Structure formats: C-alpha cells, structure tokens
Amino acid sequence: MTAATGVPATLDGRAVHVKVPATSANLGPGFDTLGLALSVYDELEVRVRQEPGASVEVHGIGAGDVPTDESNLVVRAIAHAFSRVGQPMPGLDLVAHNVIPHGRGMGSSGAAIVAGIMAAKGLLEGIVEFDADALLRLATELEGHPDNVAPAIFGGLTIAWVTPEGPAHKKLNVHRGVSPAVFVPEHTMSTQLARSLQPTSVPHEDAIFNVSRSALLIAALIQSPELLHAATEDRLHQSYRASAMPETDRLIRVLRDCGLAAVVSGAGPSVLVLGSDPAQRLLAADLVARHAETPWQALLLAVDFKGATVVPHPADALV
C-alpha cells in the first residue's frame, strides 16, 4: 500500500457501498487453513461527515445489540486501516444491513473486519492504494488468523497460511457441482471457548490423517465432488469440541451416516454440508428437519466467487 504524494485530497462528501460474503472455515480437516465464501452477505454504507467520531445504524442481525459508536468492530477496522497508512480518521456515518448470523460459525466478525478494511480502501481511493496483500494483512492483524478473512476478501475456496513476512493466500475455483448448505441453530458458540477445548498436541497418526484428508479435500472441491464425504473426515478439532455442541455433533453424525459431507462450520455451532449435487442439500434439509430437537434454519447456498466489493456511493443515498 502506498500513499500518494503532494497535498492530500479531501474526503469531504465521499461515500462507499461495501458488500461482504459469509464464510465457513476449516471445512472439516483444513483447520485454520481452508475457508469457503458463501452467498450470504452483509452490506455497509459509509459516508464521511464534518463532525468527528462515528455513528452506526444497524439493520437486521445485531440491531439493538452491537455497539453503534466508535467501539463498533467495523469502525475499529476502518480506523485501523487509516492508522496503518498514516491517514487521519474522518468523521463517519455508517448504515449496516446485516444478514450473516452472529456467533454461529459463519464468519460474522471476519466479515465486519473485512467490511471496515474495504470501506477504508474505497474512501482513500486516489490517496492510498491497497493491494491484495495489504488487505489480507490488515484484516488478519485484527482477526488474528486469515482463514475466515481470506475467503471474505477474495471469494471462492481459499488456502491461507502465515509466513515471516505476513499472511498469504491462494484462491481456487470450486467445482460447479459443489452445493453447500448451512444449518443454523438458535444458540450461539464462542470461538474463544471452542478454541479452549483444543489440546496443545495431538497424536502423530491424527496429524497424518488430517494432512491426507486436507489434500483430498482440495481435489474434491475443485475436481471430484464425489470424494467430499471421505475428504471431510477430521481428527484435529471437531471431536474435542463435541461436548460443547452436543446437538451439532449428533446432527453431523446423522448426516454423515447417510453419506453426506457434514462438518462443523467454523467454530460452530452451525453445520455445513458440502453436497456433491443440489439433491444432497435437499436430503440434508429433510434429515435435519426430522432429527433436530431444537429449531434449525436451513440455508441452501451457493459458493461466492467474487468476494468483498466496494464501490463509490452517492452520499445522499444512505438509508
């Protein structure tokens, strides 16, 4: 990212529209590495104002619950991006239209961070240029790991890893037959709690098992969807978290026993099913409806291939 030289351009009157997809991380064996962008979107309008500070209007998920001032995660992400490139933070009005469920393993916090980073990119266009590496680095600095923010930024299937120079990623296109569905319960799950249930070490054979399944999963997602059931087996994290999500664990067992590639979505408690064709999603929805003991929302989705977008927006159009 490079700052423009000379007199800084004014931000007065600038406004942008941001759209960010939900994500599902891990995908079974790809713990903290693999992520998939899904066709559920949070949208954000941001307008520069004369008064300092920030105000946030929230519609949909989180309305009445999430902060509406400078402590809002989106605002903090914008401020982080401005600070990292040496630009003063302007006063902002934000309108958030949230659809991604919170605390359900669909990357809501990562989406909020990416929304803020992309808003900063759009507001600073012509003043500072953010390349792909900069976007991923800024988002990862706030999120702590790149497995959710990478697919949110770039779309598709992403492999993310960390190097001494910072986070890196590779985006892959998913086979058109892959048909994802997410089943979302009413209860939430803390990512911090889920991570606390992980052991500090695992048996050597379990590590080898997951390496083989992760490699197979890449092949299944981009070339051979018929291998998804075998490719989504995991021994590194899901069994350790099962006690904290008993109904999630039970439904995954029901779905997998019927040949479906079901896994915990992110840290849970949602269930992700990677169907090899659309009919498998319908079978999964029927099984969840028949076997769930509490209400679960079925989201029959597509893979988002575009990732986050930001476009200039008329300032008087924020509603």
Same domain, 145 and 23: yes
Please state, in angstroms and rounded to a whole number, the distance separating the CA atoms of residues 148 and 266: 8
Which residue in 131, 126, 119 sits closest to 90, CA to CA? Answer: 119
Is the predicted pLDDT of residue 232 greater than 90, yes or no? yes
Same domain, 126 and 206: no
Same domain, 154 and 42: yes
Residue 227 pairs with which residues in a beta bridge?
none
Same domain, 12 and 131: yes
The first and second tokens of residue 27, run together, are 């995908």
Bigger pLDDT: 162 vs 243: 162
Whether the model clears a pTM of 0.85, i.e. scores above it, the answer is: yes
Same domain, 159 and 259: no
Is the predicted pLDDT of residue 240 greater than 70, yes or no? yes
Q: Are 58 and 66 spatial neighbours (Cβ–Cβ below 8 Å)?
A: yes
Same domain, 312 and 165: yes
Domains held by the chain: number: 2
Q: What are phi and psi of 282, to 5 degrees?
A: -65, -40
Residue 199's pLDDT band, with cuts at 50, 70 and 90, is low
Please state, in angstroms and rounded to a whole number, the distance separating the CA atoms of residues 150 and 136: 6
Least confident segment among 195-199, 254-258, 278-282: 195-199
Mean pLDDT of the 241-254 span: 92
Residues annotated within the binding site for ATP are 101-111
Which residue in 210, 199, 194, 181 sits closest to 285, CA to CA? Answer: 181
Same domain, 255 and 184: yes
Same domain, 109 and 249: no
- Mean pLDDT in the chain? 92
Which residue in 104, 85, 82 sits closest to 14, CA to CA? Answer: 82
Is the predicted pLDDT of residue 204 greater than 90, yes or no? no
Is the predicted pLDDT of residue 34 greater than 60, yes or no? yes
**CATH code of residue 275:** 3.30.70.890
Angle at which helices 108-123 and 73-84 cross, to 10°: 40
Mean pLDDT of the 11-27 span: 95
Pairing of strands 262-264, 271-275: antiparallel
Q: Are 166 and 137 spatial neighbours (Cβ–Cβ below 8 Å)?
A: yes
Q: What is the chain's alpha carbon radius of gyration, rounded to the nearest angstrom?
A: 20
Same domain, 295 and 311: no
DSSP one-letter code for 227: G
DSSP one-letter code for 249: H
**CATH code of residue 147:** 3.30.230.10
For residue 37, the tally of other CB atoms under 10 A from its CB is: 34
pLDDT of residue 113: 98
Mean pLDDT of the 163-172 span: 96
For residue 245, the tally of other CB atoms under 10 A from its CB is: 24
For 218, the domain range is 179-300
What three-state secondary structure class fits 213?
Answer: helix
Residues annotated within the binding site are 101-111
Four-point Cα dihedral 193, 198, 200, 201, nearest 10: -170
Same domain, 156 and 216: no
Q: What percent of the chain has pLDDT over 70?
A: 92
Q: Are 179 and 284 spatial neighbours (Cβ–Cβ below 8 Å)?
A: no
Is the predicted pLDDT of residue 279 greater than 60, yes or no? yes
Is the predicted pLDDT of residue 7 greater than 50, yes or no? no
The first and second tokens of residue 44, run together, are 């954000």
pLDDT of residue 190: 67
Is the predicted pLDDT of residue 9 greater than 70, yes or no? no
pLDDT of residue 212: 95
User: In b/e form, how buried is each residue of 179-203, taking b as 16+ CB within 10 angstroms?
Assistant: bbbbbbbeeebebeebeeeeeeeee
pLDDT of residue 191: 65
Mean pLDDT of the 77-93 span: 96
Please state, in angstroms and rounded to a whole number, the distance separating the CA atoms of residues 269 and 184: 7
pLDDT of residue 194: 57
Q: Give whole-number Cα distances, 164 to 84, 154, 265, in Å.
A: 19, 22, 28
Same domain, 129 and 189: no
Same domain, 204 and 148: no
pLDDT of residue 315: 53
Residue 5's pLDDT band, with cuts at 50, 70 and 90, is very low
